[in-house]
């Protein structure tokens, strides 16, 4: 996770000095997670990349207001969500109005050595379990577990309650744990309910 003070410092450098290095640093910090988030909506890597670029163009356009933004991560995700929904509305005949109606893409990233040691069968089982979650539950699980967001941040971005976020993560964790062999299921459930 990136230090919130570092992000705050970058915000101030952009706002006060129009610092392009700070702007690029923020872009690099948030690009991958925002891209994955957008991809889950639009199902196109290129479109997701364009949307993330548009998010950062918007950020540059409002750079003088950056000091007023308390949680930049939540702010960027909200802009990204709105841009994704706008894209869907413009490019599809029957736009989706609810996250529950969307077929969100499942993305599992194996970033640490512990995750890389899990067998391919177990990874496939986990991926299949995540794919079978309802769309909103899947998106919330990914935002919390893959993007490392707090429940409150996810709630703010998706305009839902913190209790809903907590319940959806618990449901996802339980369903994933149920699909795993008993020995691994217990370890997975314990690790993901902390």
Burial tier of 127 (Cβ tally within 10 Å: 0-12, 13-18, 19+): middle
Structure confidence at residue 124 (pLDDT): 79
**pLDDT of amino acid 193:** 53
Domain 4-91, second-level architecture? Orthogonal Bundle (1.10)
pLDDT at 98: 52
- Please give the CATH architecture assigned to the domain spanning 99-192: Orthogonal Bundle (1.10)
- Chain mean position to CA 124: 21
- pLDDT at residue number 106: 47
The contacts of residue 117 (CB under 8 Å, 6+ apart) are none
Distances (CA, A) of 127 to 50, 81, 91, 172: 27, 23, 29, 12
pTM above threshold 0.85: no
Residue listed under structure tokens 């000095």: 17
Q: Looking at the chain, how many residues does it have?
A: 194
Query: In tens digits, what is the pLDDT along the chain, a chain of 194 residues?
Result: 578 899 999 999 999 999 999 999 999 999 999 999 999 888 899 999 999 999 999 999 999 999 999 999 999 999 999 999 999 888 876 655 455 555 544 444 445 555 555 566 777 788 888 889 999 999 999 999 888 899 999 999 999 999 999 999 999 988 888 887 765 544 544 455 55
Report the pLDDT value the prediction gives residue 186, as an integer from 0 to 100: 47
The domain segmentation of the chain, as residue ranges, is 4-91, 99-192
Look at the block and give the residue holding tokens 């939540």: 74
Residue 166's pLDDT is 96
pLDDT of residue 107: 47
CA 73 to chain centre: 10
């Amino acid at each position: 996770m990136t230090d919130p003070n570092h992000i705050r410092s970058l915000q101030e450098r952009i706002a006060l000095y129009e610092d392009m290095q700070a702007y690029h640093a923020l872009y690099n910090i948030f690009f991958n997670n925002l891209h994955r988030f957008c991809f889950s909506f639009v199902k196109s890597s290129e479109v997701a990349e364009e949307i993330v670029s548009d998010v950062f163009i918007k950020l540059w356009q409002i750079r003088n207001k950056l000091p007023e933004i308390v949680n930049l991560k939540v702010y960027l995700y909200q802009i990204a969500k709105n841009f994704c929904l706008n894209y869907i509305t413009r490019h599809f005949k029957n736009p989706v109005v609810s996250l529950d109606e969307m077929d969100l893409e499942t993305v599992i990233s194996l970033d640490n050595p512990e995750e890389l040691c899990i067998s391919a069968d177990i990874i496939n089982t986990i991926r299949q379990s995540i794919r079978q979650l309802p769309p909103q539950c899947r998106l919330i699980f990914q935002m919390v577990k893959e993007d490392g967001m707090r429940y409150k941040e996810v709630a703010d971005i998706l305009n839902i309650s913190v209790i809903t976020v907590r319940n959806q993560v618990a449901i996802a964790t339980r369903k994933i744990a149920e699909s795993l062999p008993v020995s691994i299921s217990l370890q997975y459930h314990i690790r993901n309910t902390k």
